Copies of this chain bind each other. A is one copy, B any other.
Amino acid sequence: MAQKGNLLTFRPDVKVVDATIRDGGLVNDFYFSDEFVTNLYKANVKARVDYMEFGYRADKEMFDTESFGKWKFSSDEDIRSIVGDNNTELKIAIMADVGRCNYKEDIHESSESPVDLIRVATYVNTMPAALDMIEDAHMKGYETTCNIMAISNAKESDIAASLEMLGQSPVDGIYIVDSYGSIYPEQIRTISEQYMEIGEKYDKYIGIHAHNNQQLAFANTIESCAQGVSYLDATMSGMGRGAGNCPMELLLGFLKNPKYKLFPVIQFIENNIVPLKESGMEWGYDIPYLLTGHLNQHPRAAIAAMKEGRKDYSGFYKEIIDKD
């Protein structure tokens, strides 16, 4: 596929999606202060970010509200307490996980909600359930995306079948998700091409959500963008599960659309991320994350090793190779 755009121009179809609360919430069990979330909202508005994802809308029957901060559930009321009527250009997103969201009841008509975009997260083997959620959200008036997770462990034929199903659904956008941070730029270009073909055939936009296990989250994001992918996920200082995500400060530094402002992002990091890190929150590239990424494994073993403060990297390596 021919490259779209170049380094001196910008593509107006590109949208930046801040996923700090949702993916960052996997670091701190969604216990963000209201001040942090309000400051993030204001920074995103100032930086002219296109979407801000709050957390998951998890089912309160399945997950104990005492064990998680409120952004695990992201009720319309809690979002409204931050954004009011959201009289800004910033759109609001939440994520709904297949099998973990009571969407029929917990997702209300969009006319009654501050949310604009419902992002449905699924694995290839739960596509029918994802399609039902997409249909439901679409009927309720939302923009929708489908985020197919862990594609590095899925067969190309299953991905192709899933993309065809989505092409024929009312979904607005389809996301490439590198859950394990195991995908190289060379592969991201091929995958982007595959997704873009479906996108062009069925008039869906394509997005990317990358992880930084091999320090490739930013590289993969901008490489897929050059292939025509247009919804780009990023988080402040890369805050996100394990090795984290594509850092917003790198992405906005790269994008040439003059509407985007880097300065509010740098200010937000200075005033909100630095204190969070100083309070002991940890994320970002480290050897255990590299190793699970390299071996194309879920990062859970690496997350556990980091939580225990393990530095016996070679012992950890031997353990996870045995599990491979």
Q: Which residues of B contact A112 (CB under 8 A)?
A: none
* A32: Cβ under 8 A from any B Cβ: no
Which residues of A282-307 have CB atoms within 8 Å of chain B's CB atoms?
287, 290-291, 294
| Among listed A11-19, A148-156, A215-223, interface-contacting one | A215-223
Which residue of B185, B250, B312 is within 8 Å of A214 (Cβ)? Answer: B250
* A257: Cβ under 8 A from any B Cβ: no
Q: Which residues of B contact A247 (CB under 8 A)?
A: 215, 290
Which residues of A173-187 have CB atoms within 8 Å of chain B's CB atoms?
184-187
Q: Which residue of B lies closest to A253 (CB)?
A: B294
How far is B205's CA from A280's CA once the two chains are assembled, in angstroms? Answer: 46
B269 in contact with A184 (CB, 8 Å)? no
- Chain A at the B interface: mostly helix, strand, loop or mixed? helix
How far is B287's CA from A214's CA once the two chains are assembled, in angstroms? Answer: 19
B317 in contact with A266 (CB, 8 Å)? yes
Given contacts A214-B253, A290-B249, contact A226 B266 (CB under 8 A): no
Which residues of A1-43 have CB atoms within 8 Å of chain B's CB atoms?
3, 6-7
Q: Which residues of B contact A186 (CB under 8 A)?
A: 3, 6-7, 222, 226
B185 in contact with A185 (CB, 8 Å)? yes
- Cβ of A213 to closest chain B Cβ, rounded Å: 9
Which residue of B185, B270, B287 is within 8 Å of A223 (Cβ)? Answer: B185
* A274: Cβ under 8 A from any B Cβ: yes
Q: List the 7 shortest-distance A-B pairs measured between CB atoms, nearest first.
A: A219-B219, A253-B294, A270-B313, A267-B314, A266-B313, A266-B314, A215-B218
Binding site for B on A (CB under 8 A): 3, 6-7, 184-187, 212, 214-220, 222-223, 226, 237, 247, 249-250, 253-254, 262-263, 266-267, 269-270, 274, 287, 290-291, 294, 311-314, 317
11 additional A-B residue pairs with CB within 8 Å, beyond A186-B226, A219-B220: A214-B253, A215-B217, A216-B219, A249-B287, A253-B294, A262-B294, A266-B313, A267-B313, A270-B287, A270-B311, A270-B312
